[in-house]
Each structure stands twice: as C-alpha cells, then as structure tokens.
Amino acid sequence: MKSARQLVDRLRAYQPPNTDLGQHFLIDDEMLKRMIKIVEINEQDHILEIGPGPGTLTQHLLATGATVTAIEIDDAPVLHLDEAFREEQNSKQLILHHGDALTIPWPKDITKVIANIPYQISSPLIEKLTHHLRGKNSSMTHVVLMVQLEFAQRLSMNHPADVGSLGLTVALDWDVEEHHLVPSHHFSPQPAVQSQVIEMRPHGREFSVDKRLLRQMIHHAFDQRRKKIRSTLKRAPRRISRIKGWHAQRWKEAIQSLQDLDIMDARPEELSMEDWVEFAEKVEKGSM
C-alpha cells in the first residue's frame, strides 16, 4: 500500500490541486485509518466514496475487501485513479465514475458512504443522502464524512448556539455523532478551516406528523431566525402546496387558530425537536 503522500504526489504529476473544487487532500495515513475504524466494514459492504481525488482514502477502503464505488468530477484525478487502481477496477472491486455526485445516480445497494468531501457541496450532499435513504429498499446503514468543523457543529447541535434548520431537519432522519478533529496541517494544500469527522446513522423514527410539513415549518421559521414565530409563520411556506392537501389558505387558517399559544412568541432556536413536532401537530389540527 502506498502512503497518502505518495498518492498525492502522483496526482500532482497530472495537475496541481484545484482548490476551486475543494481539493485539499488528507495526507495523514493515521487520520485516514481512524475514519475507516468508525464503522465496521466487511466484504459484503458496498461503499460510496465521493471525491476520491488521489485515492488516499480509496485504498484504505479497498483494503477492507468491500466493493467501492467512487465518483470524481475532475478529469486529472480520474486519469490518476484509473492508472493507480487498474487492477481493482478490472476485478470490479472498484467502480469509478467520472461525474458530479450530486447529479448522477447512485447505486441502489450502497450500505455505507465514507468520504472526505469537497466542503462546498456539504449541504446539497446531505440532501441527496437523505433522499437516497428515503428511497425504496435503501440498505444504507452508516455515513462517515470529513466536513468543515463549523458545519459539523451545526449538524450535531451539541451546543445551543449551533441549533438551526440544518441540524433540526437532518435530525428528522439521522442521528449525528461528532468524531475526531483534523487540523489543517494534515492536508495538502492546507485549508483555511478546521475539519471534523462526523458519523450519521439513520434512526428510522416514526413521527406523528408529516415530516415534509415539519421540514417546511423549520426552514421557514429559521429564514428569519431572530423574529418570533408569530411573525415568521404568518405567511405560508413557499412550497406548502407541494404537500398533499395543503395550500396557503389552509395554512393561514391554521396559524390564525393558534395565536393564543405561548409558542407563538418564541424564536425558532428556542424550540427542541419535540417542541416542533408538538407544534406541527397543532398546526395540522388547527387546519381541520
């Protein structure tokens, strides 16, 4: 097995890292091993890696015996990966796709996603992961991602200041756990931000209300998070009509019926997930 530094240097023979695409490559093999050890991997797993770049994480994933599908958007890394992992591609242990992971279809049978992702796609990638999880017969059990520290804190909401629409809507489908920090000197080139590894596990929780309604209420309230819910929810969410049976007039009547509740004078970050669920129940009942 080649060192992470060797693989990065081989890629640089094709082109320097493209920081516009978030190419900050992890060059510390111990950090890569720690990512792998977060979840148990076996030969029956089908792992999705997004943005493999030089293949530093890829080779550790392949060493577990699992099948790996890797999606890379940039031309030069694809050429490099094609050469560096030709044997694994010939044996079909590695399936390499040249394209945008946010737009091309993912294999339906992936069991885990493990990746050091380009940080600028963090939010849309979480959306696609959730969409894939909700798909028919999804077999996804774990997601392990290296993300920007601030983004990790917003996902986990371990601190009150980090409570927001991102963490709350992710919590509708996932349990999030923070793992180790990765200082910038473990990358080449060094990013200007700190990084952290996070783990996401689908919890399969059933809610007493439509999760789409919960999601829209949370996003709508946090669009103006400093205002009271009474003010922000007076107007219907823009996409309320996408939920079967809902429209702007029904929303207006529901919110009007709840004007005397104390929760209407709260700000969105003051509400827990349980509060949001209870509130959504009242909104549904108030519209009947």
Average pLDDT over residues 134-152: 94
Whether pLDDT at 288 is above 60? no
Band (287; pLDDT cuts 50, 70, 90)? low
C-alpha to C-alpha distance for 283 and 208, rounded to whole angstroms: 12
C-alpha to C-alpha distance for 250 and 214, rounded to whole angstroms: 16
State yes or no: cis peptide before 189, omega within 30 of 0. Answer: yes
C-alpha to C-alpha distance for 105 and 48, rounded to whole angstroms: 12
Taken in order 151, 280, 217, 137, the sign of the CA dihedral is positive
Whether pLDDT at 195 is above 70? yes
Closest to 48 measured CA to CA, from 40, 169, 56, 57: 57
C-alpha to C-alpha distance for 51 and 74, rounded to whole angstroms: 9
Band (173; pLDDT cuts 50, 70, 90)? very high
Could you tell me the CATH superfamily of domain 4-202? Vaccinia Virus protein VP39 (3.40.50.150)
Tell which wins on pLDDT, 238 or 8.
238
C-alpha to C-alpha distance for 26 and 29, rounded to whole angstroms: 8
- Quick check: 45 and 64 in contact, CB under 8 A? yes
- CATH T-level assignment (fold) for domain 211-286: Helicase, Ruva Protein; domain 3 (1.10.8)
Average pLDDT over residues 168-178: 97
Average pLDDT over residues 266-281: 95
Band (6; pLDDT cuts 50, 70, 90)? confident
- Quick check: 101 and 108 in contact, CB under 8 A? no
- Quick check: 223 and 166 in contact, CB under 8 A? no
Average pLDDT over residues 268-286: 93
Residue 89 tokens read as: 């591609």
Residues of the chain with CATH 1.10.8: 211-286
pLDDT in tens, 72-118: 999 999 999 999 999 999 999 999 999 999 999 999 999 999 999 98
pLDDT number for residue 64: 97
Calculate the dihedral angle through the C-alpha atoms of 90, 9, 36, 165, rounding to the nearest 10 degrees.
Answer: -110
Residues of the chain with CATH 3.40.50.150: 4-202
Give per-residue burial for 214-230: e unless 16+ CB within 10 Å, then b.
bbbbbbbbbeeeeebbe
- Tell me the residue type at 29: D
3-state secondary structure of 69: strand
Average pLDDT over residues 281-288: 81
Whether pLDDT at 148 is above 70? yes
pLDDT number for residue 283: 94
Where residue 72 falls (left for φ over 0; alpha for ψ -120 to 50; beta otherwise) is beta
Whether pLDDT at 198 is above 60? yes
pLDDT number for residue 17: 64
C-alpha to C-alpha distance for 43 and 64, rounded to whole angstroms: 7
How high does pLDDT run on average in the chain?
Answer: 93
- Tell me the residue type at 212: R
C-alpha to C-alpha distance for 226 and 232, rounded to whole angstroms: 10
Phi and psi, residue 202, nearest 5°: -65, 130
pLDDT number for residue 8: 83
Band (52; pLDDT cuts 50, 70, 90)? very high
C-alpha to C-alpha distance for 139 and 48, rounded to whole angstroms: 12
pLDDT in tens, 237-257: 999 999 999 999 999 999 999
pLDDT number for residue 104: 96
Kindly report whether the global pTM for this prediction surpasses the value 0.75: yes
